[in-house]
């Protein structure tokens, strides 16, 4: 990845929901030292808690990059954003995008960048030398976060787990598989931009053979039960060859993200999702097991949290945490005890 140049201005455009603002919110959460302001268009309903800035104010504050903080379905750059992005490029800001669409393919943005000499950085660009996956067993240990839906905390959970492992002196690395994780960590492979035949190979490439005591903590993508994104989830599950899995869940959701208007696809029960993931994980690693459940309780009243944890723990027989509010110590404790037994 071409390393983005901080300080950064986070562009939220006119996004209406938190789920699609995960790139900007993730950077603010995990790389707050990079982020000095936010730019929101009329109609935006997301607030990352940063100072609202105009492009001129951002330039005056020393900002060097504008990061598109939104990941809409399909990864296109809406018409309504293009004048803002072109104006930022013309003013001298690098434009950093995690979209599937390429910045240079938007004429007004490309022209503005040529005029000012700034960089257009497309994070969702996979390497060209990805092999086909083999499924062959390789040394080292791997933990993969999986989800009941998209945008339920797989990246946050993986980052929190890596941080906790390192704090305990474990040999561990976070492996980014999406645009936000790549921006946070400085490297990785955007798995959802890889041609389908090569997804498992990309996961093997991302997490190669390692020392027996080394843990790769791999950021999950999508959900096996999501009719739009199950393909990337399955390829990643096979290629990651996980020893341990953590299930990520947003209990405030009733339907899969993007399917709410019709209500056709309710979130599956947690136990069904666990069974579904293990059936595929065991194909490449017969010892794969779940070691915890990570829940996003940002929309759950505080007085209901513990009852929710107890209910999920009874259903799954696993430790339950919110990685932001509680940390992930209970999950790592469980992983440690299982490894010792």
How far apart CA 226 and CA 233 sit, in angstroms, is 9
Pairs from 299-304 (Cβ < 8 Å, separation ≥ 24): 299/250, 299/252, 300/251, 300/252
Confidence grade of residue 260 (pLDDT, cut at 50, 70, 90) = low
Percent of the chain past pLDDT 90, that is, above it, reads 89
At the topology level of CATH, where does 141-340 sit?
A: Rossmann fold (3.40.50)
Beta strands in 43-192 (DSSP E): 65-68, 94-97, 120-122, 141-147, 171-175
DSSP lists the bridge partners of residue 96 as 67, 121
- Phi, psi values for residue 111, rounded to 5°: -65, -40
| pLDDT over threshold 90, residue 339 | no
How far apart CA 317 and CA 197 sit, in angstroms, is 36
Confidence grade of residue 148 (pLDDT, cut at 50, 70, 90) = very high
User: Would strands 65-68 and 8-13 be described as parallel, antiparallel, or unpaired?
Assistant: parallel
The predicted model gives 28-48 an average pLDDT of: 95
CATH 3.40.50.720 fits 8-122, yes or no: yes
Same fold, 8-122 and 141-340: yes
How far apart CA 341 and CA 275 sit, in angstroms, is 23
> What does the pLDDT look like over 199-231, one tens digit per residue?
999 999 999 999 999 999 999 999 999 999 999
Polymer length in residues for the chain: 341
> What does the pLDDT look like over 115-137, one tens digit per residue?
999 999 999 999 999 999 999 99
pLDDT reported for residue 1: 46
Q: What is the pTM of this model?
A: 0.92
Domains of the chain by residue range: 8-122, 141-340
Find where tokens 């389908």 sit. Answer: 196
């Amino acid at each position: 990845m071409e390393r983005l140049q901080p300080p950064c201005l986070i562009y939220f455009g006119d996004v209406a929901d938190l789920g699609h603002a995960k790139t900007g919110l993730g950077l603010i959460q995990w790389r707050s030292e990079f982020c000095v302001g936010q730019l929101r268009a009329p109609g935006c309903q997301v607030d990352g808690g940063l100072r609202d800035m105009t492009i001129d104010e951002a330039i005056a504050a020393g900002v060097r990059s504008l990061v598109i903080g939104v990941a809409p379905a399909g990864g296109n750059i809406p018409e309504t954003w293009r004048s803002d992005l072109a104006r930022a490029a013309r003013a001298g800001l690098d434009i950093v995008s995690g979209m599937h669409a390429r910045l240079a393919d938007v004429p007004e943005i490309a022209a503005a960048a040529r005029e000012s000499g700034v960089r257009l950085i497309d994070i969702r660009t996979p390497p060209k030398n990805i092999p086909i996956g083999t499924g062959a067993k390789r040394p080292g240990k791997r933990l993969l976060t999986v989800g009941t839906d998209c945008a339920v905390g797989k990246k946050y959970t993986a980052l929190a787990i890596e941080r906790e492992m390192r704090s305990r002196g474990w040999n561990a690395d976070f492996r980014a598989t999406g645009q936000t994780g790549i921006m946070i960590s400085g490297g990785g492979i955007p798995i959802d931009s890889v041609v389908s035949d090569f997804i498992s190979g990309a996961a093997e490439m991302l997490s190669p053979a390692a020392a027996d005591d080394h843990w790769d903590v791999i950021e999950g993508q999508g959900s096996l039960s999501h009719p739009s994104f199950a393909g990337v989830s399955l390829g990643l599950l096979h290629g990651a060859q996980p020893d341990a899995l953590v299930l990520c869940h947003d209990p405030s959701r009733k339907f899969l993200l993007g399917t709410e208007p019709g209500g056709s696809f309710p979130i599956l029960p947690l136990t069904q999702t666990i069974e579904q993931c293990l059936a595929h994980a065991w194909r490449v690693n017969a010892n794969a097991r779940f070691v915890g459940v990570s829940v996003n309780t940002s929309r759950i009243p505080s007085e209901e949290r513990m009852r929710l944890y107890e209910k999920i723990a009874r259903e799954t027989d696993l430790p339950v945490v919110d990685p932001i509010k509680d940390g992930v110590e209970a999950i790592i404790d469980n992983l440690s005890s299982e490894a010792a037994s």
